[in-house]
Each structure stands twice: as C-alpha cells, then as structure tokens.
Chain A
Amino acid sequence: MTALAIRGGHLVDPAAGVDLPKDILLKDGRVAEIASPGKLKSANGADVLDATGLTVAPGLVDIHVHLREPGHTHKETIATGTAAAAAGGFTAVAAMPNTLPVNDSPETTRWMQAPERGAVIRVFPIAAATRGSKGDAINDYAALKSAGVVAVTDDGLPILKDNIMREVLAAAARVGLSVIQHAEDTRLTQGAGGAASMNLGPVSFRLGLRGMPPEAESSLVERDIRLVTELRDARAHLHVAHISTAAAVAAVRQARRNGLRVTCEVAPHHFLLTEEHVGLYNTNAKMNPPLRSAADRDAMIEAILDGVVDAIATDHAPHAVHEKEVEFENAPNGIIGVETALGLCLRWLHKEWKMPIGRVLSLLSAQPAALLGMKGRGTLTVGSFADVVVFDPKAEWTYNAREGKSKSRNTPFDGWTMQGKVRWTISEGRIAYERAS
C-alpha cells in the first residue's frame, strides 16, 4: 500500500492532547510518523495531501447508525451508508442489529463485515441482545464477540423485562461487551390504538397525536441503573442510546457520581430541535425517541457542555421518500444524520455555544471509540489506525439533502447552514471520501 503524507494541516487530537501544526505520515493502514511542519523523516515517495489551512483530526466514530442491510436495501446499503458516513467525516460506524434478519448471529455479523458489502470505512456490527430482539432469550455473546461485535442491544425496542435485562447486563459483562439500551417503556408509548408518534405535551394535544411521555424514557433508564447497581461487582456497562429527556440525563449524572459504568449518547436533533419542529406534521421530524420539550432540549445542551454526555451519535435511520410521504402517525421513525453531524456540531456546539473544537471532536471520535473498545481508533498517535478526517473548520455551507450520498433524504436539516467542510476522509490509509477542492 502506498504511503500518504498529510502536510501543512493543523492536528487536533484531543485524546493525545495535541492541538498544533503537524505533518502526518500514514503507511500500511497505520499512522507511521507525526512531525512538525516539513519535518517528516520517512515521507519519501509518499502521495501528498496539502492540508494548508485545514484541520487534521482522528476520523469520526458514530456508534449508532442503521445501515439497513441485510433486508432493507431500498433505504440504505452498507455501501451507500458508509459512503455517506465518509462524506460526513466518519471512519468507523457501529451498525445496529434491527435489520432483516435481525443480526443476532456470528454469521450475519461476519456477512456484514465481508468485503463484498462494499463498505468504504470500518463497520462494527452491534448484535441483538436477545434472540430476534424479542426480549426473551439471550444470545451467545462470546461467539458474537469473536465474530467482531462491539456491543449488544435490541435497539428500536427496549429490553423490557427486569430479569432479562439483568441477565443481559451480567452476560455481556462476563465477555466484556457493552449493553446499549433503547430506553423506552413501551407500556407507556404503545396503546391498543397504536403507537404514540411524538412527545407527550401541549403540542401533541394540539395536533391530536398520541404522545410518548418523557417518563417512558427516564423510568427505564432508572430501572437499568438499579440493575447496574446490583451488578456493581460484575462491572456491567450500560450505555443509554439517544438520550433525550432531562430526567434521564439527571439519572445518568447521578449514576456516574455513584461510580457506576453508565454512559450515554445524544443525537444532534435532540440537542437542536424541539417538539415544535414537528410543525404541521413534518414526518422528517418524527423519530424515536421523539423531539422533546424546549426544557429537555436545553438539558441536552447543558449535559454536553458539562461533560455528562460521552458521545454524539447520529441514530442515522434512512427511510425511502415514499415511506415518509404518508400520514404522520403512519410514518416510520427516524432521520438520516451522518452527513450533517460534524457540520451541526461545529456550527452549534463550537461556534454558538463556544465549546472548544477539541472537545467537540472528542465527542465525535475519541470518546465513542473508547466507549465501545475500538482500540487504536479515535486518536492519531504513531501506531494507531490511519483513520483521519481533514476538514476546513471555518467553511460555512448549506446542506442539500438531495446531493447526499445516502440512499435516503429524510432529514429535518435540509437547507440548514453547516460549519466545517470535509475535504478528505481517510480510512485505514485509503481515501474513502474526497471533495473536489
């Protein structure tokens, strides 16, 4: 494999505490050398990328995406989903198991990682915690881990039964896997008249839509934290997916003070949008968990700024246009997100709310990589994987969903101003995305 030298850029590697002009040499899929500008010693014969004026950072890591393959390839494939992620600066994504079939086996896990899938960046499968994600029988976590799984979850659905969740946490802890919970007490969100379709509150009442109470999330997070407390000695790791309510964040904050291994991620839409963005039944503002109240949204921003949140994850959930062009309550949940995450985080967390760029990047790379044990990723030290994003941190641009790489374009951010434009995304030394300069 040819070597690649990135010259003239400004390296921001929060995990290594680096924020300096550096040249960097990538060789054989790894970082070979990092040096002051013009001082690379072994770059002879390497292809050169001129990163003058650009930021060079560890490739971004999204620990919550739905690539829809196998089974729902009209929405997205591993090839299109990873191409979209690469365009957004990501070099690793963790793929949720709610495919068809559900990924609850080493076979499906290996199939997803096979070169024939055409992934342009690294895909880390997350397996179903229970057989078929039905919440009853626990899968063989040791076998799944050997096949490459980085965590278990029944995402899309909660692991509702106390005894099953306790077993899942204990069994996952034994093999060193994290348990990701989709915290939704479906007994509070799915009546006999159908599933609720937005946050419960004055807006849902006004729109005549069945509402999901915030307690449906926070009560399950609290239940899970009780179980982790019981399993303290086993060092069980609970990761709360797409956290969205002030009460649930408060519970996580308290659990952390108590020394428990409880982490959480927030999606950009939950720290930027509120239930008001549903507007007049905009199905691209429908997801689960739903957009919440302004107070909840503000609590997400606070939790990000004060460090309770461990990762920004997109919950990238592609759906075909015709699937979203239906009555609001009949529309599927979810929005795409991998192509807008960096642009929104820099525009809002960094520019608007003054979060240092290193901390923003850490939430998008070092912390999520560490959280799911992706060794050698999320940082750029000699020997780590050559997963790099090179972007212009000052560039403002307007997102046009039609021009995206994803197969789908279900997003509430179409037409929004973004900050930070990706120039190159390099996955294990290979250019996975390049924007014409």
Chain B
Amino acid sequence: MNPTATPVRRQLHPPPVPASPFPYHPGSLLSVGDLSLDGISLILTRATALENQDPLTRDRILAKRRVALLFYESSTRTRTSFELAAKGLGADTTLVSSLSSSIEKGESLKDTGLTLRALGAEAIILRHNASGAAWLLEAETRLPVLNAGDGMHEHPTQALLDLRTILAHFDPSTKSCHPERAKRVEGPASQISPPHSIHQVTPETLAGVTVSIVGDILHSRVARSNMLLLPRLGARVLLCGPKELLPDLAALAGPGIAIERDFEAALRQSQAIIMLRIQAERLAGLQLDLEEYKARYQLTGQRLAAHAPEAVVLHPGPIIRGLEVTAGVADGPQSVILEQVRNGVAIRMAVVERALLAETAKGGRA
C-alpha cells in the first residue's frame, strides 16, 4: 500500500447523500432524506389535522393556488390521491402526462418544467421513469417539486403514508402492531383517524420493530424510500427476495438494513410486512422463474397464519393478485392495503400544503 493514497480519500471523499440539500426550495420533497424527524412529525400531524378538518374550511387553505401534476408514467393511486389532496385544499390542478402532451414531440423535462412555471404553476408533482428526474426539475425551475416517484430511486410520500399506516396499528407499550387496532376504512374519511395514533416521532419510536420489505427490491423506489426512512425511527428493515431482485449490496444502502433471504424467517421476525410487485417493465431481460418465485416468496394465508399471525400486511400497489400475494391475504384481516391508499390522501394534503406554504411557514406550525 502506498501511504500517500490515504490523504486523497480524506480530502476528496464527499458526503454520500447530503442530509439537507440546502439549495432546494424548502417546500420541495425529493427524498425522505430531506426531512428531519421534526419535519416528519409535522407532516404526520398536519395529515391528521387536515383529514379531520371540515372540507368547507379546508379548501380555503390553498384556494386558487396552482399545482401541476407532471406524470411520465401511468399511475392510479399516486396521481389520484395527489390530485384529490391538492383539490381538497382548494388548489387548482392540471395534469400533464407524457402521452398527451408535447413530451411526445420530444420536449425536454427542463422545457416542460419551465413551461408549467410560465403557466403559473407554483408547485410541480413529478412522476418520472428516470431516477433523479425530480432533482433536475427542481434545479431548472426552482419551484417546489414533490417527487411522486423517480425511476427506481425514491417515492417519499409512499414511505410517509406507509409510516402513517404502520403507526396507526402500532402499540408502543408492547412494540407490536395489531391489524385490528385502527378502524377499518369503511365510512367517511373524517371518522377513520385512529384516536391514539403517534404523530411525534423520535429515533426510538419504532425501536424493537422489524419491518420486512419483500420482493423486487432492486427496481423499487418504494423499497428505497422505506429502507431509508424507517431505520431513522429505530426500526430494523429486513429485505427479502431472490438475488436477481435483491443484490447483497442493498444492505449497504444505509444503517438498520439487513438481508434475510428466507421469507418465512423474515415473517417470523416482522411486525409489518411490505409486499412489492414484480416490476416486469423494469426487469430488463432478467430471467425470472415466476413459479419458483411464488413458491419461495408469495405471501399466502397459510404462511401468514403460520409465521406472522399478528403482523400487518402492506402493499404499495398495484397488486398482482396470485403473484406476490394471494387474493385471500390481500382481502384478509391482516391487510391494511386500502388504509394505505386512504392515508395517501392525508399525507399528500400535508406535503402539498407544505410545498406551497413552506416559505411563509418557516419555524413550523404547532
């Protein structure tokens, strides 16, 4: 070894991902890493407050403010819930999707963003098939950008709504989750918020809790956002899947992350299980034996009853019934999948509000 090599590394090695990318607009949400624990607590608090607020006063909060949804990929849940969230706060929304706009004619992301800004958009919600696209849009427009999923990278609002869902079922005294703890999703939105849900999060909030993320980790932005978020609250994240979809180096993505390739062993340790879809559109030539995959990783009623009878089962959707989960599990008592969808609207109201009020609300709200 040449001793002269060491000082180089010390002087040139930059920090991995900046925890607080200060040049960004304070209202932007590009990565879960952008949020402090206080910032997360504030979003959880506002989500519940907005959810419980009278819709007739709530829609004055962002009355006539302009929010653009820019979608380069198809989406049901994310797009609709962002739109309902923005409209629920009174904002005007417009949707630009890649298949019905000048994007089809070759307009760049930069020019599309600048055009939306010139049309009066005050914030842009971006779903894009390229990792990092949200950073580019932010840098070029200087508008608050909400990352609604960038390639295989991140999906921060999904992680926040997953967190809200887990917390709603979490009993801090026993460090366990109870599927029946939160009220079911039937009934008006204003009545479903769990009364004792946690809003203030700390590095110990989820200490002792294990969350398994199962399936196509490699291609999943939901997995990345969750594995970066949950350990900051003390949770242990277990990643589970075959090597093709879960490379060993995934464990190096951050602290509190481990790999457990034995699905049933992962289930036995977990209080919450996040099942992921096989992303056929991103497999890129990977040969995957789906029958073998199902044999090893499908969440069946039998497996759940035998190894994780108390855990809550999450899925970011879209579900491919009969592949990663059986219909019985998706519709079963441990599934909180539709609660996730509903929590999506509340969380997205909070982040849209944050995006547009960030500059006037510095110092935080109670």
Contact = CB atoms under 8 A, between A and B. Distances in A.
B285 A328 contact: no
Interface stretch (A124-132, A202-210, A391-399, A429-437): A202-210
A415 B9 CA distance: 20
B253 A330 contact: no
B154 A208 contact: yes
Given A193-B284, A354-B4, A280 B131 contact: no
Contacts of A209: 131-132, 151-153
Interface stretch (B12-20, B49-57, B61-69, B187-195): B12-20
B247 to A, nearest CB: 7
B250 to A, nearest CB: 6
B283 interface: yes
A284 B72 CA distance: 24
B8 to A, nearest CB: 6
Contact of B109 (A202, A273, A326): A326
Nearest to A277: B14
B284 A191 contact: yes
Interface stretch (B83-91, B133-141, B202-210): B133-141
A197 to B, nearest CB: 9
Interface in B233-250: 247, 249-250
A301 B5 contact: yes
A205 B131 contact: no
A202 B140 contact: no
B2 A205 contact: no
Contacts of B14: 276-277, 279
A49 B219 CA distance: 62
A256 to B, nearest CB: 18
A247 interface: no
Interface string B148-180: 001111100000000000000000000000000
A306 interface: yes
B36 to A, nearest CB: 18
Most chain B beta-carbon contacts within 10 A, residue among A193, A194, A205: A205
Interface in B1-45: 1-2, 4-5, 7-9, 12-18, 21
Contacts of B250: 205
Contact of A301 (B2, B150, B154, B283): B2
A280 B108 CA distance: 19
B273 to A, nearest CB: 22
Interface in A234-291: 272-274, 276-277, 279-281
A329 interface: yes
Given A205-B249, A294-B13, A306-B2, A281 B8 contact: no
A301 B252 contact: no
Given A207-B132, A281-B131, A276 B2 contact: no
Interface string B208-221: 00000000001001
A409 interface: no
B132 A327 contact: yes
A301 B8 contact: yes
Contact of B151 (A203, A208, A298, A348): A208
Contacts of B136: 281, 325-328
Which 4 A/B pairs are nearest by Cβ-Cβ distance? A193-B284, A208-B153, A281-B132, A208-B152
Given A202-B253, A209-B151, 14 more contacts: A191-B285, A206-B253, A276-B16, A281-B132, A281-B136, A294-B9, A297-B9, A301-B4, A302-B2, A305-B2, A325-B110, A326-B109, A328-B131, A329-B130
